[in-house]
Amino acid sequence: MQPFDPVNFRGQFAFFQHNPAWVYLDNAATMHKPNVVVDAMARFYQHNNSNVHRGAHTLSQQATQAFEQARDDIAAFINASARQQIIFCSGATAALNQIAFGLMHTVLRAGDRVLITALEHHANIVPWQIHCSQYGVILDIVPLTADYQVDQQAFTELLALKPKVVSFSHISNVLGHIQPVAQMVSQAKAAGALTVIDGAQGIVHDKVDVQSLDTDFYVWSGHKLYGPTGIGVLYGKTAALELLTPLFGGGEMISEVNFSHSLFNILPFRLEAGTPDIAGAIGLAAACNWIQKFNSEQVKSYKSMLLKQFFAGLNQIDGLDILSSPVHNAGIVALNVQGEHPADVAELLNQQTVAVRGGQHCAMPFFSLLGLAGAVRFSFAPYNTETDVATSLQALTQAVEILTA
């Protein structure tokens, strides 16, 4: 394991050499890719490209081996107990759709309940809504406390209604708040529910051990973990994955097909219809292998140091409404300039080459609850620098000046 050196770390991303002017603080939307990821994908296409699992030829066998090695690497990355528990899909959205659809046919019946929280991303709301309304399943929402944390007391009370599935995010994509996931999983399990964790923001922040977390499902997108877009992971305990009716039918996922019926293949292939994103899987595995080379505690403490500096700077700027709490925060700060629309603030930052997101961050219900048009979101990564923090604070000060002049 290497000690974490921020300059060396940032140096591994060609993006920053090509875009020296930009302060990139939109990491919660997507992260940049280290050269090892881009190289691994280029190498696959240039040297090994072939389809997997079906070729009679050696090239296909080599591609299959590389693809399945990626599965092994990712299984090890989250400490899954078996390789077939890693299902490749296009991202967290696809995974959540597969879970919502898949459980609706096997576990959930009319009158059953599913529990989510008021902090969820649309990807953990809409799939449930679509399928719940079709199957007569009731969707309950855990409300938030006054400081925008998931109300744990309400969570306990809603668990008493015996939901069959409880689905929540590891880390809020809007606020950066880290949920007490281990405790929530154990409570949900005690209530007899299957647990689903949306790890889109969580996987990059902390070492995730799915066995000690004991969750039934944990899903994430590769592109928010230094990996390529278009690939993601649906992790499930074997028994939980067996409960899923495949959302997609097609090649690879069957063992026998005739015109009257088909027999499904075994896991993981049953849930991976069609040619998978082979290069994407290889790229994502390269990202997982790469990040594990760094001391994760040092990475985390560097990021929290940046966050602390940023919060300290924000306190010097008048007229801000800061929505995120600095405590239990994974590096995301949502705020508003009082009385101003977030789109205006984000645009004035954009003019100063500071990349942030302004809007509702795929969490419209959350902002409706607050009666806000949205927020400006600054999200940090370990390749950000102290200069990035200072520059973004200056840019925000300038934006406030222009807006309130």
Partner 1 sequence: MTLDQLLTDTKPALSQIYAEDLPELTQAKDWQSKYRILMQLGRKLPPIPEKMKQPSLLVKGCESRAWLMHYYNQHQDQHFFVLDSEARIVKGLMAIMLSLVNGMSNTELKKFELAQAFDKLNLKPYLSQSRGSGLNAMMARIKDCCH
Would you tell me which residues interact with partner 1 (CB under 8 A)? 340-341, 343-344, 347-348, 350-351, 358-359, 373, 398, 402-403, 405
Residue with Cβ nearer partner 1 (197 or 348): 348
Residue with Cβ nearer partner 1 (152 or 350): 350
The helix (H) or strand (E) run that includes residue 194 is strand 194-198
List C-alpha distances in Å: 219 to 129, 175, 205. 19, 19, 14
* Cβ neighbours around 129 below 10 Å, total: 15
> DSSP string covering 157-179, please?
HHHTT--SEEEEESB-TTT-BBP
- Whether the upstream peptide bond of residue 34 has omega within 30° of 0, thus cis, is no
Nearest distance from C-beta of residue 322 to partner 1, angstroms = 20
Nearest distance from C-beta of residue 396 to partner 1, angstroms = 14
Identified catalytic residue from 89, 132, 288, 362: 362
**What 3-state class would DSSP assign to 256?**
strand
| Tokens (6 digits) for 338 | 């009082």
Nearest distance from C-beta of residue 347 to partner 1, angstroms = 5
Question: How far apart are the C-alpha atoms of 287 and 221, rounded to whole Å?
Answer: 12
Residues 3, 299 contacting (CB under 8 angstroms): no
Nearest distance from C-beta of residue 183 to partner 1, angstroms = 37
Handedness of CA 70, 290, 213, 166 (dihedral sign): negative
Residue with Cβ nearer partner 1 (126 or 403): 403
Nearest distance from C-beta of residue 23 to partner 1, angstroms = 16
Question: How far apart are the C-alpha atoms of 189 and 185, rounded to whole Å?
Answer: 6
Q: Among this protein's residues, is 132 annotated catalytic? A: no
Residue with Cβ nearer partner 1 (94 or 345): 345
Sequence length of the chain is 405
C-alpha 375, offset from chain centre: 20
Residue with Cβ nearer partner 1 (76 or 370): 370
Name the residue type at position 152. Answer: Q
Nearest distance from C-beta of residue 341 to partner 1, angstroms = 4
Residue with Cβ nearer partner 1 (239 or 405): 405
Question: How far apart are the C-alpha atoms of 10 and 226, rounded to whole Å?
Answer: 12
Residue with Cβ nearer partner 1 (289 or 398): 398
List C-alpha distances in Å: 55 to 52, 68, 145, 257, 367. 7, 15, 55, 19, 51
Nearest distance from C-beta of residue 181 to partner 1, angstroms = 32
Beta strands 165-169 and 332-337 are unpaired
- Which positions are catalytic? 362
